[in-house]
Amino acid sequence: MPGRALGFRVQAYGIQNHADLFTRRQLTLLTTLADLVGEARNQAIADGATPEYADAIAVYMAIAVSKTAVFHNTLSRWRAGETKSAPAFGRQALPIVWDFAEVNPFAGAGGDFEGVIDGCVRVLKSCSVVPPGKAFQRDAMEPLQDPGMFLVCTDPPYYDNIGYADLSDFFYIWLRHALREVVPDLFGTVLVPKSSELIATPHRFEEDMAKARDFFESGFARAFDLVRKSQNPDYPLIVFYAFKQAENEEDEDDGEVVASTGWETMLEGLVEAKFEVTGTWPMRTEGAGRLRAMASNVLASSIVLVCRPRPALAQTITEMDFQQALRAHLPKAVRTMQQESVAPADLAQASIGPGMALYSKCDKVLGPDGKRVPVRKALEMINRVLDEVLSEQEGEFDSDTRFALAWFQQFGMRSGSFGTADVLSRAMNIGVTGMETAGILEAKAGTVRLLKWEELPEDWDPEKDRRLTVWEMTHHLIRLMYKESDAAAARVLAKLGDEGEKARDLAYRLYQICERSKWSQEAQPYNALVVAWPNLTAEARRLEKRSTPEQMTL
């Protein structure tokens, strides 16, 4: 195994060879199954199959053996609630686990070999109704032989996020054992070739991150340049990107700003290859049940970028022109995404699209010093305008909610002094006592704290609330979703009418505050409320329609 690699953490615990990932019993199982693939191929030929048909059978069976290895290793977990084993790869990494499950491979439990075979059969049956296609492996750095004949749709590598080549060795060792005589061209090396993999992994460059970054950036630019020269000009380049990595940096003029290395390098490659972004939208592509999505605020969508070659006569603009264009166009795009209930966890990434569309259509964006404004600076500016859009929406909220927002930014759900709360409330022309009566906060023993959604009264009725606030609406909707049901939340939303839309806007703002403060647990309910919003509003409209009396004709 590599001494160090992206996604690998097991080497530090004494696991140095791939064989160390399996018990002797598991090695016996997998080696035996891999050997039997060759025997099955020979038996198929003896039974009258053509060599090509027998090869196909061998490939399918080898894939089943490879899949079986995911369940039969020393990193396989136990799902107590489902009473079955879980595969080692809950995500694209191999972390150490302190207790593992080893099951009988023929007992009908999770990881059962016959169950794996059944899964492969279901896939093959599904594929049989699809028109035949071709799949082949190519290096993205090599020119296509028939330029102008291709539509390119790609989900490119994510900087230093996932080391697919190193991780794929886990499967390769078993596929090679079973198929090296059947498909010798694919399995000529002991492990997967890795030198040309386009990721920024420092362990391949003597731990020099600068060299790894240069390799990644130059490779991206070259790959996109080849795409531009090779693809059919009638169709756009489509890029899927679902990368959240962000860094907070201090800017001399603007204080703390947010940027993303992954997005920066990918977009820099596009711009260098003379592409412009002509359309963007987040698409729901990530499963909610995957390990990374459970109890976390990971991206639920991939951001789709539609790109076309930049016109030869593209104009050069100043940094101030770009900033003005952002403030003129980005707010409308953000509000559209909010109306479509793009998840708060996705909003910052989704906003990159319309912002970069303005940047990439220009030949250059020049700063005050006459130098080109880099993509990283453009991303910082886009994030800054997004902050402004979400902050401006606070003006639509009532005074109580604005107080709660200001308090939440400073203290979260923790207690603060009564004196601080009193000064803040007086500035908004409201009183602490009134907000306590309204059910927003608790004041006692010289301290003040906001009430958590779990503490809110269960008999709350917005139609009887004499001091209804957006803060209450939002947190009661969350309480109903989590403690009762989406249907219960929809019934309350129906009573709120058009005012209910402000609850979604507040959820976006609160999520953003939590994200910046690294309060991941507090952020989850706000993200969940927005994600559920389309279903809640649809059910609320249905309830409203059913309760509206109709005038009968005489």
Q: What is the reported pLDDT for 292?
A: 39
- Does one domain contain both 483 and 469? yes
Residue 145, domain member (yes or no): no
In the beta sheet, which residues pair with residue 449?
Answer: 442
Residue 428, domain member (yes or no): yes
Q: What is the reported pLDDT for 504?
A: 92
The answer for residues whose C-beta is within 8 angstroms of residue 307's C-beta and 6 or more apart is 236, 237, 238, 239, 270, 275, 276, 277, 278, 360
Is beta strand 255-259 parallel, antiparallel or unpaired with respect to 247-251?
antiparallel
Residue 277, domain member (yes or no): yes
What is the model's pTM?
0.72
- Does one domain contain both 381 and 409? no
- Does one domain contain both 343 and 365? yes
- Does one domain contain both 172 and 259? no
Residue 218, domain member (yes or no): no
Residue 267, domain member (yes or no): yes
The answer for residues whose C-beta is within 8 angstroms of residue 551's C-beta and 6 or more apart is none
- Does one domain contain both 405 and 377? no
- What is d(CA 544, CA 20) in angstroms, rounded to the nearest whole number? 62
- Does one domain contain both 385 and 402? no
Residue 351, domain member (yes or no): yes
In the beta sheet, which residues pair with residue 301?
Answer: 284
Q: Which helix (H) or strand (E) holds 521?
A: helix 520-547
- Does one domain contain both 32 and 43? yes
Q: Which helix (H) or strand (E) holds 366?
A: strand 364-366
Is beta strand 247-251 parallel, antiparallel or unpaired with respect to 77-79?
unpaired
Question: What single string gives the DSSP state of each residue in 70-120?
Answer: HHSSTT-EEETTTTEEE-S-SSS-B---SS-----TTSSSTT-HHHHHHHH
- Does one domain contain both 54 and 65? yes
- What is d(CA 265, CA 242) in angstroms, rounded to the nearest whole number? 14
Q: Which helix (H) or strand (E) holds 316?
A: strand 316-318
* Residue 277 and residue 353 in contact, taking contact as beta carbons nearer than 8 Å: yes
- Does one domain contain both 372 and 401? no
Q: What is the reported pLDDT for 196?
A: 85
Q: What is the reported pLDDT for 346?
A: 80
Q: Name the 3-class secondary structure at 173.
A: helix
At residue 294's C-alpha, the angle toward residues 293 and 299, to 5°, is 20
Which of 394, 425, 440 lies at the terminal end of a domain, its last residue?
394
Q: How many CB atoms lie within 10 A of CB 251?
A: 12
- What is d(CA 514, CA 496) in angstroms, rounded to the nearest whole number? 26
Q: What is the reported pLDDT for 69?
A: 94
Q: Which residue has the tokens 């908004």?
A: 428
What the block records as the tokens of 82 is: 């489902």
- Does one domain contain both 343 and 384? yes
Residue 67, domain member (yes or no): yes
Q: What is the reported pLDDT for 295?
A: 41
Write out the residue range of the structural domain in which residue 20 sits.
Answer: 11-131+167-179
Domain count, the chain: 3
Q: What is the reported pLDDT for 396?
A: 86
Q: What is the reported pLDDT for 296?
A: 44
Q: What is the reported pLDDT for 291?
A: 37
The answer for residues whose C-beta is within 8 angstroms of residue 396's C-beta and 6 or more apart is 502, 505
Q: What is the reported pLDDT for 65?
A: 95
Question: What single string gives the DSSP state of each residue in 383-431?
Answer: HHHHHHHHHHGGGGS-HHHHHHHHHHHHHTTS-EEHHHHHHHHHHTT--
Q: How many CB atoms lie within 10 A of CB 179?
A: 24
What the block records as the tokens of 145 is: 């032989």
Nearest CA-CA partner of 179 in 34, 42, 40:
34
Taking only the tens of pLDDT, the chain with its 554 residues reads 887 777 778 888 888 899 999 999 999 999 999 999 999 999 999 999 999 999 999 999 999 999 999 999 999 888 877 777 888 887 788 888 888 888 899 988 778 899 999 999 999 888 877 787 888 777 888 877 777 778 889 888 877 778 888 889 999 999 999 999 999 988 989 999 888 888 888 888 888 888 988 888 888 888 888 888 888 888 999 998 876 555 555 555 554 555 566 778 888 888 888 999 888 877 766 544 433 343 444 445 678 889 999 988 889 999 999 999 999 999 999 988 888 888 887 888 788 888 999 999 999 899 999 999 998 899 889 988 988 888 888 888 999 999 999 999 899 999 999 999 988 888 888 888 888 888 889 998 889 999 999 999 999 999 998 899 999 999 999 999 999 999 999 999 999 988 889 999 999 999 989 988 889 889 999 999 998 999 999 998 888 776 655 555 65
Q: What is the reported pLDDT for 352?
A: 85
Nearest CA-CA partner of 34 in 244, 181, 188:
181
- Does one domain contain both 376 and 467? no
Which of 362, 394, 426 lies at the terminal end of a domain, its last residue?
394
Residue 119, domain member (yes or no): yes
Which of 378, 394, 410 lies at the terminal end of a domain, its last residue?
394
- Does one domain contain both 309 and 322? yes
- Long-range own/partner contacts, residues 146-153 (CB < 8 A, 24 or more apart): 147/229, 147/230, 147/231, 148/230, 148/231, 148/232, 148/233, 149/232, 150/230, 150/231, 150/232, 151/231, 151/232, 151/235, 151/238, 152/227, 152/230, 152/231, 152/237, 152/238, 153/237, 153/238, 153/240
